[in-house]
Amino acid sequence: MVPIKQTICQLRQDLRPSEVWPLMGLIAQEVQERMNLLLDAFGSSIDADKGWNAAIEAYNKSNRGSTTYTDLPGSSQVSRDIDLLTKRYEIFNNTILKGLFPSGSLDFHFIPAGSPEWTRNRTKSCLDGYVVSNRRVCDTTPATFKATVVVFEKPRIRCNNTRMKVTTGNLLHELVHAILEAYACAYQRCEKTVLEGEGLTGHGPVWMAISRKIEKTMVRVFGYRCWLGRSQSLAHEHHVARHRHTEKELRILEINERLYCEARMDFAQDEIRSGVSFDGEDFAEKGDGMVDSEGLESDYSEDDENEDEMMESRNVKI
């Protein structure tokens, strides 16, 4: 009997944006091609604009004029944040991701600060969310596929607009992972394309390309700019893959060089132990060996947040 995953792998069809995508039946590059067509074909609609704007208006109204992380009488900030993020999740599933996830195949959970799962995550400061699925369970089929998207609260960012911008970017970041979990084939023979597709950490070239496309689509459709953390994610991927980047590669992927380099510097000790050290050709360094951020170019793809808005609020108890 032919293994079910091999059968699924053979279900790949010609590229037609209107056809049903086979769950777990595409290589990562095919997922990217179809996402490009899907996002290019999606235009802003009156309903999408109304839903997006209505969610923002309701959020601002519930904050009662407060622009920072504030617990109001009878209403916690986290409850208001959850409400807005849940509405945005529903909007994404009904617009730019419409039809990608059959009913019941995808769940979303927001983890508030102070909860047991959030507290355990404190030791993993770089973890803003994750996706878990049953894709690699041996008896999983397209009909039984299920995934859960998890996003953690960011209470240390006191400005409401900035916090929700970051959290929305984290949600979209995880939704891209969910798309690849759902549609990229898990059959063993497809693992040879992992570096060119999903990557060792899930942040390979295909994830990078889809994420950048979604960033641009968010601006075009909703007039909303948010970043999916591509620069730091690429640094993580290159660290794990022991890959030395090139200027051309960074330019093609349209990342923020400063954020990328700072993230790679965070891995410096591990890089040295792994035999992939830094040198003057890669980074500008000060006399004390610290990275010279001012000497690194920052392109348009990811903005550097206002430091005042990103400051930890002294009123927030973690």
Per-residue pLDDT of 285-306, as tens digits, reads 333 333 333 333 333 335 544 4
Across residues 54-60, what is the average pLDDT? 95
State which residues form the domain around 101.
Answer: 4-228
Strands, E assignment, the chain: 106-111, 129-133, 147-152
Predicted confidence at residue 5, as pLDDT, reads 38
Mean pLDDT of all residues in 190-208:
74
Question: Mean of the per-residue pLDDT values for the chain?
Answer: 74
CB 250 within 8 A of CB 257: yes
294 assigned to some structural domain: no
Name the most confidently modeled range: 36-50, 124-138, 243-257, 286-300. 243-257
Q: Are 301 and 260 in contact (CB under 8 A)?
A: no
Q: What is the pLDDT of residue 87?
A: 96
Q: What is the mean pLDDT of residues 239-267?
A: 81
* pLDDT of the residue at 260: 84
As a whole-number percent, the residues of the chain with pLDDT over 70 amount to 68
Which stretch of 41-55, 163-177, 224-238 has the lowest confidence by average pLDDT?
41-55
Domain membership of residue 74 (yes or no) is: yes
Which of 136-150, 216-230, 234-248, 279-293 shows the highest mean pLDDT? 216-230
pLDDT at 72 over 80: yes
Residue 221 lies in a domain: yes
pLDDT tens-digit series, residues 129-160 = 999 888 777 677 777 888 999 999 888 888 99
Residue 122's pLDDT band, with cuts at 50, 70 and 90, is low
Instruction: Specify the pTM.
Output: 0.78
Residue 127 lies in a domain: yes
pLDDT, tens digit, 9 for 90 and up, residues 81-109: 999 999 999 999 988 888 888 888 899 99
According to DSSP, the β-strands at 147-152 and 106-111 are: parallel
Give the integer Cα–Cα distance in Å for 237 and 243. 8
Q: What are 75's strand-pairing partners? A: 72
Tell me the two tokens of residue 299.
């392109």
What does the pLDDT read at residue 80? 95
Rounded to whole angstroms, the Cα distance separating 179 from 34 reads 11
Would you say residue 283 lies in a domain? no
pLDDT at position 119 is: 72
In terms of pLDDT, which residue wins out, 81 or 188? 81
Q: Is residue 84 part of a domain?
A: yes
Predicted confidence band of residue 161 (pLDDT cuts 50, 70, 90) = very high
CB burial class (10 A; 0-12, 13-18, 19+) of residue 45? exposed
Q: How many angstroms separate the CA atoms of 211 and 229, rounded?
A: 9
User: Confidence class of residue 308 from pLDDT cuts 50, 70 and 90?
Assistant: very low
Strand partners, 111: 152
Q: How many structural domains does the chain have?
A: 1
Phi, psi dihedral angles at 109 (to 5 degrees): -130, 135
Q: Which of 52-66, 156-170, 180-194, 248-262 has the least mean pLDDT?
A: 180-194
Structure tokens at 219: 């601006």
Nearest to 303 by CA among 259, 266, 272: 259
For the ranges 117-131, 279-293, 301-315, which has the lowest average pLDDT?
A: 279-293
Whether residue 211 is predicted with pLDDT greater than 90 in this model: the reply is: yes
Residue 317 lies in a domain: no
Position 291 in a domain: no
The answer to whether 131 touches 150, Cβ cutoff 8 Å, is yes
Give every CB contact of residue 197 below 8 A, 6+ residues apart in sequence: 27, 28, 29, 180, 184, 204, 205, 206
